Amino acid sequence: MKTEDIPDFLSDMKAAYWDASCALDFETPYQLLVATVLSAQCTDERVNKVTSALFKIASTPEQMLRLSIGELEDIIRSCGLYKTKAAHVMSLSRTLVEDYGSRVPETRAELKKLPGVGEKTASVVLSNAFGVPAIAVDTHVFRVSGRLGLSHEKTPDKTAQALMKAFPEEEWSLMHHMLIKHGREICHARNPECSACPVRKYCEYYEKTEESRPALT
Ligand code: SF4
């Protein structure tokens, strides 16, 4: 995408996805941290179902540590990768209690030291729990950014850097949510609905596939 098109693209995205926001249910930074760890390779809907049960019995690090690992595994089993996720949740909860007075740290460097927390999870927590501008790159953001030509990078972390360079800092968090919403609703992994896409005029994929596409009515 051309740099000069970014302001109009942003404006069209806002018109289409003005209500985009975090789809994970949470009331505290700790709950968001746990929900984000559980969301790896799992839908937000499934995570919300699981955490609505989990947070009734364990919504703080101390309460989580009172569960046995087997109890936690049973509760989160339907999220997939449940053994690894349970181990990470227990381990990060212990670190929060022992090193941070049970509070979730507010810096990227500290967050990334927690078990199971990488660049993406740190960005989600910073942005949604603490209001720090950040762009987390999940599978939707990675795919949509590549198709639109917002980034040609090959890794999520480098894509995040490219997006943060392309957009003003105050737009990062909203752009993250808008790209996810666009990926879920229109720009699907298989068969993107280009004919219904509100930003197709900016899209490199759309331009490249023009000749193989039936004419729009
Ligand atoms: S035109 Fe198609 S490929 Fe491009 S962003 Fe829109 S839906 Fe995705």
Q: Residue 66 above 60 pLDDT?
A: yes
Domain at 3-20+136-212: CATH architecture: Orthogonal Bundle (1.10)
* Yes or no: domain 29-130 corresponds to CATH 1.10.340.30: yes
- For the Cβ of 104 lying below 6 angstroms from any atom of ligand 1, the answer is no
Write the residue with the smallest CA distance to atom 1 of ligand 1. 200
Task: Decide: 75 in ligand 1 pocket, CB within 6 A.
Answer: no
Q: From ligand 1's centre to the CA of 64, what distance in Å?
A: 42
| pLDDT tens, position by position, 166-179 | 999 999 999 999 99
Directed axis angle between helix 119-130 and helix 29-38, to 10°?
Answer: 150
pLDDT band at 212 (very low <50, low <70, confident <90, very high): confident
CA–CA distance, 210 with 217 (Å, rounded to integer): 14
Contacts for 167 with CB less than 8 Å, ≥ 6 apart: 6, 10, 135, 175
**Is the C-beta atom of 150 inside 6 A of ligand 1?**
no
- For the entire predicted model, the pTM comes to 0.89
Q: What are the residue ranges spanned by the domains of the chain?
A: 3-20+136-212, 29-130
142 lines ligand 1 (CB under 6 A): no
